[in-house]
């Protein structure tokens, strides 16, 4: 993966440039582009690449207005492109405003900041410098006047206006405007603290602070844990009636009930259900694996580790634990280089199914129900299963901190039916799984990588509109997990996240409703 794509892969949400796509990406594009020209052998580029990747995750919602790209100038086939753009040193950044002509060589950013926040501000400065007609794919970033706000609902087809009151040098308002640009029924504008008439009309006392204004001229302050960009964006994206462009309106339970053929089981969205975990076991062992007529080599090793981890750490009902132990000891006894799935299945369905050892058949999703049958279900329960297992391993204090993660990695790589998922997961594992040296770090590794996947998939076709992909847990679910750096940047308090996960996924906390 790394050698093919230089320092970045497709899952980094960075457009990888080549001689074939460079013109179509950079010229006459509706979005501005910020391009990193780098060389794989350059130490500064390697050191800068995590920042570039974090920036891509951080401004994913800005994509219609500005996108990130990168090109590896050490790759001989790219040399001509880099020479044409006059690149002599690495890393170099060039900004291409929206609708750049094919004559454009881009605007070189000299002495650019090396941190995400600084780069984000730099991008906003460059977007604002656009000197042709304002590109339609970029929201207005200028400050709003009293007159504009008074006439807002006559001239804009939205239901809600969020106003960020702030000082002139604050970037929060513009960042939130871009964060919300892909959402419907809401617009965001910034208002300066010098707009004294508006400030007193809204009763503003803090800068920054965010107020909601609707067409009935009702004013309310947005309640957030901290007055900062991430908290505003997070809260605004989840307001009733606010939906991602192109997605249907927000749930009412009846709607969910009607759009799936199966009976809807009401559930608590903030709890783990054993029914999902047992359903994941059924699906993985009886459906997913059944696609493999015989299992050998690395796949057999992966299966043995997966079952072994389940047999040791699955916090299930005694009969299910006993079934997993039977399957595990049968597998450990198989000393050949290959097994037949039919033999494995025979153990599951015949040897195991005695009164005191049972692997329940069929799937019955509860917390993992989707509003339609193609949403959620197995992948949701598979993530949940492994969060539970990493937490169980931590509670039991097992000797090998990587045992559960490596079992997951092996299973996903050999068997997980969604192959692009497996490729992405493996590239995350290659990047950092080896750095996990404690059981706590294993719990947090899986949590943070799951959030990376959530970030990548937010707004994707596979996202159930009733269960939007968020950076999890939300500030409402775990207020103490969320903090603020001195710079005003959001930060996760990892100690608090760990405490939260250990409780949320603990065996004592799992609900046993709806079990067969
Ligand atoms: P899920 O993301 O499945 O999460 C399930 C539940 O876990 C949530 O409801 C929430 O309660 C909890 N949760 C959410 N985030 C976290 C977190 N950070 N830490 C702990 N708990 C959390 N789909 C793709 O389209 N492309 C991919 O590349 C892709 N890769 C995947 C890789 C793996 C290893 C797996 C297991 C799945 C992958 N999927 C991928 C599927 C995708 O991640 C979701 O599982 C699927 O879209 C269903 O989403 P969901 O809304 O049920 O929530």
Residue 248's pLDDT is 63
Average pLDDT by consecutive 10-residue portion of the chain (516 residues)? Answer: 67 94 97 97 95 97 96 95 94 96 93 95 95 88 95 92 97 98 95 97 97 95 97 96 77 50 87 98 97 97 98 97 96 96 94 86 95 93 98 97 98 96 94 96 98 94 90 96 95 98 98 94
Residue 411's pLDDT is 98
Q: Could you tell me where the DSSP H helices lie in 195-238?
A: 196-202, 229-237
Ligand 1 centroid–CA 408 distance in Å is 14
Ligand 1 centroid–CA 222 distance in Å is 29
> Can you tell me the distance from the alpha carbon of 285 to that of 327, in angstroms, rounded to the nearest whole number?
11
Give the closest residue (by CA) to ligand 1 atom 13: 472
Let me know if 42 is a catalytic residue. Answer: yes
> Can you tell me the distance from the alpha carbon of 505 to that of 493, in angstroms, rounded to the nearest whole number?
18
Ligand 1 centroid–CA 450 distance in Å is 6
Residue 1's pLDDT is 36
Mutation test of ligand 1: which of 378, 379, 471 has the most ligand atoms closer than 8 Å to its C-beta?
A: 379
Residue 263's pLDDT is 83
**In the beta sheet, which residues pair with residue 161?**
187, 213
Helices (H) and strands (E) in the chain, counts: 20, 15
- DSSP one-letter string for 90-156: SSEEEEE-TT--TT---EE-TT--SSHHHHHHHHHHHHHT--SSPPTTS---SBPPHHHHHTHHHH-
Among candidate residues 56, 92, 70, the one with its CA nearest the CA of residue 6? 70
Residue 256's pLDDT is 52
Q: Is 277 exposed, middle or buried (0-12, 13-18, 19+ CB in 10 A)?
A: buried
Residue 131's pLDDT is 78
Mutation test of ligand 1: which of 13, 272, 383, 456 has the most ligand atoms closer than 8 Å to its C-beta?
A: 383
Residue 260's pLDDT is 56
Interface predicted TM-score (ipTM): 0.99
Residues with CB under 6 A from ligand 1: 368, 376, 379-380, 382-384, 387, 412, 418, 420-421, 424-425, 447, 450-451, 453-454, 457, 460, 462, 464, 467, 472
Ligand 1 centroid–CA 267 distance in Å is 18
Residue 261's pLDDT is 61
Residue 5's pLDDT is 56
Residue 249's pLDDT is 58
Among candidate residues 494, 307, 322, 455, the one with its CA nearest the CA of residue 389? 307
Residue 273's pLDDT is 98
> Can you tell me the distance from the alpha carbon of 203 to that of 105, in angstroms, rounded to the nearest whole number?
48
Contacts of residue 187, Cβ cutoff 8 Å, sequence gap at least 6: 139, 152, 156, 158, 160, 161, 162, 180
Question: Residue 123 has which token pair?
Answer: 């991008």
Among candidate residues 409, 414, 406, the one with its CA nearest the CA of residue 296? 414
């Amino acid at each position: 993966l790394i050698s093919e794509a230089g320092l970045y892969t497709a899952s980094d949400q960075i457009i990888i440039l080549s001689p074939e796509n460079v013109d179509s990406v950079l010229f006459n594009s509706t979005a501005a582009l910020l391009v990193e020209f780098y060389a794989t052998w350059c130490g500064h580029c390697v050191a800068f690449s995590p920042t570039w990747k974090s920036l891509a995750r951080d401004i994913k919602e800005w994509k219609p207005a500005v996108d990130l790209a990168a090109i590896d100038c050490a790759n001989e086939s790219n040399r001509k492109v880099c020479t044409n753009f006059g690149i002599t040193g690495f890393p170099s950044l060039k900004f291409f405003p929206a609708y750049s002509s094919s004559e454009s060589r881009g605007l070189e950013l000299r002495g650019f900041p090396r941190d995400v926040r600084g780069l984000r501000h730099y991008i906003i400065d460059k977007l604002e410098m656009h000197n042709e007609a304002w590109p339609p794919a970029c929201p207005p970033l200028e400050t709003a006047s009293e007159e504009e706000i008074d006439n807002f609902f006559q001239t804009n087809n939205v239901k809600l206006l969020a106003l960020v009151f702030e000082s002139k040098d604050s970037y929060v308002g513009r960042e939130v405007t871009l964060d919300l640009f892909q959402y419907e029924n809401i617009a965001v504008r910034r208002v300066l603290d010098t707009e004294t008439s508006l400030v007193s009309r809204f009763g503003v006392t803090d800068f920054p602070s965010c107020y909601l204004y609707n067409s009935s001229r009702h004013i309310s302050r947005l309640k957030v844990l901290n007055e900062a960009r991430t908290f505003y964006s997070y809260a605004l994206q989840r307001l009733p009636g606010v939906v991602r462009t192109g997605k249907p309106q927000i749930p009412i339970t009846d709607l969910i009930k009607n759009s799936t053929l199966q009976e809807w089981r009401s559930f608590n969205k903030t709890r783990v259900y054993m029914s999902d975990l047992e359903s994941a076991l059924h699906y993985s062992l009886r459906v997913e694996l059944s696609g493999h007529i015989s299992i050998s080599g690395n796949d057999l090793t992966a299966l043995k580790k997966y079952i072994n981890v389940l047999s040791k750490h699955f916090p299930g009902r005694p009969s299910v634990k006993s079934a997993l132990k039977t399957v595990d000891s049968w597998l450990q006894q198989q000393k050949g280089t290959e097994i037949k799935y039919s033999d494995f299945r025979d153990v599951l369905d015949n040897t195991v199914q005695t009164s005191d050892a049972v692997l329940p058949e069929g799937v019955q999703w509860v917390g993992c129900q989707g509003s339609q049958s193609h949403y959620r279900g197995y992948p949701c329960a598979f993530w949940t299963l492994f969060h539970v297992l990493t937490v169980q391993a931590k509670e039991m204090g097992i000797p090998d901190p990587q045992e559960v993660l490596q079992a997951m990695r092996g299973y996903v790589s050999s068997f997980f039916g969604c192959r692009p998922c497996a490729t992405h997961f493996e590239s995350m594992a290659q990047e950092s799984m080896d750095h996990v040296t404690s059981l706590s770090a294993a719990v947090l590794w899986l949590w943070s990588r799951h959030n990376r996947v959530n970030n990548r998939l937010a707004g994707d076709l596979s996202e159930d509109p009733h269960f939007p992909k968020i950076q999890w847990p939300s500030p409402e679910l775990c207020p103490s997990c969320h903090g603020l750096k001195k710079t005003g940047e959001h930060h996760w308090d990892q100690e608090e996240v760990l405490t939260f996960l250990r409780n949320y996924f603990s065996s004592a906390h799992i609900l046993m409703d709806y079990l067969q």
